[in-house]
Structure 1
Amino acid sequence: MFRANGGCGYVKKPDFLLKADSPNEVFDPKVPLPVKTTLKVTVYMGEGWYFDFSHTHFDAYSPPDFYARIGIAGVDADTLMKKTKTLEDNWIPNWNEVFEFPLTVPELALLRIEVHEYDMSEKDEFGGQMCLPVSELREGIRAVPLYSRKGEKYQSVKLLMRFEFV
């Protein structure tokens, strides 16, 4: 959430959490609410792993098998993760997949993006992540940088994505 304000450490609560209609009214995230908007995310492709990782980092004898997990972290009704197909032996995966996320409380929703390398014999390997406040997303095609598990930005790794509110 702090990426929304340049990392200064303060994010104002949404108005509905600050102004109640009655003095005893409290926001309950478990109460079913109507869908306010639907976020449509298109994951086109990824690139940059070839430059930021050694060529044997993921697989010793073949290029990596990448897949992306795209989802929403927020109130229970909005929380959901979806997965692209796994593309075998490709340093520049080209998924071209569309995902839709109906959102009841978009003000509290975060778009979660993770990339993993599929490994049949062991645990899948981490390839990058990003978390973006849905309230800060702008419609259009964007190059989304990915970060390590420690939160360090990779120099070259990015995903080409489109964001739309429908």
Structure 2
Amino acid sequence: MECSRQMVVVDTLKKPDFLLKLGSNNEVFDPRATLPVKTTLKVTVYMGEGWHLDFRPTHFDPYSPPDFYTRVGIAGVPADTVMKKTKPIEDNWVPVWNEEFEFPLTVPELALLRIEVHEYDMSEKDDFGGQTCLPVSELRSGIRAVPLHSQKGEKYKSVKLLMRFQFV
């Protein structure tokens, strides 16, 4: 019997120079220091699609289509760390949010854009609908189809968000 191997490609990011070198007074980088904003990331969440292809019709709600909302935020130094969310779109497998968020960033080199989709559930814990995490330093301005992953990190076949990234 032959074993099949799945190749996993891992992108690596070089540490920023300020983490590798001492400052002019032999100081090391302090992530809690008050720093000026270097750039602002504007993120627009337009819409999502693909859940009806990757999940059975009753996965999120046995009686109606799902009520999806998106959480978007930054993981990074304490001054940059924040989470925001869209309003839930009721009863729709293809939710359209058209919501824009701004994230002022003091250390964009260490910032990750966190994206999560959940299905709002009034009576129980909200259901997980997908996630991804993108290094801000790797984002390019423009409209993008962003694939989402399961809680185990497995990429869904069809689930994507249509988003726009801008640096101002």
2:144 to 142, 145, 157: 142
Separation of aligned partners in 2, 1:43 and 1:31: 31
Q: How does 1:58-137 map to 2 (within 5 A)?
A: 58-137=60-139
Give the alignment's TM-score, normalised by structure 1. 0.94
Stretches (4+) displaced over 6 A: none
Residues 1:27 and 2:26 are matched in the alignment: no
Cα deviation code 1:89-117 (max 9, x no counterpart): 00000000000000000000000000000
Cα deviation code 1:100-153 (max 9, x no counterpart): 000000000000000000000100000000000000000000000000000000
Question: Is contact 2:21-2:28 (8 Å) kept?
Answer: no
2:58 to 45, 56, 59: 56
Give the alignment's TM-score, normalised by structure 2. 0.93
3-state SS in 2 of match to 1:34: coil
| Structure 1, unpaired ranges of 5+ | 1-5
Separation of aligned partners in 2, 1:48 and 1:84: 18
Q: What letter is aligned with 2:60?
A: F
Q: How does 1:38-57 map to 2 (within 5 A)?
A: 38-57=40-59
Separation of aligned partners in 2, 1:78 and 1:152: 27
- Residue 23 (structure 1) shift: 6.2
Separation of aligned partners in 2, 1:121 and 1:97: 26
Cα deviation code 1:31-82 (max 9, x no counterpart): 1000000000000000000000000000001000000000000000000000
| Structure 2, unpaired ranges of 5+ | 1-8
Rg larger in 1 or in 2?
Answer: 2
Aligned residue number for residue 3 of structure 1: none
Separation of aligned partners in 2, 1:51 and 1:45: 16
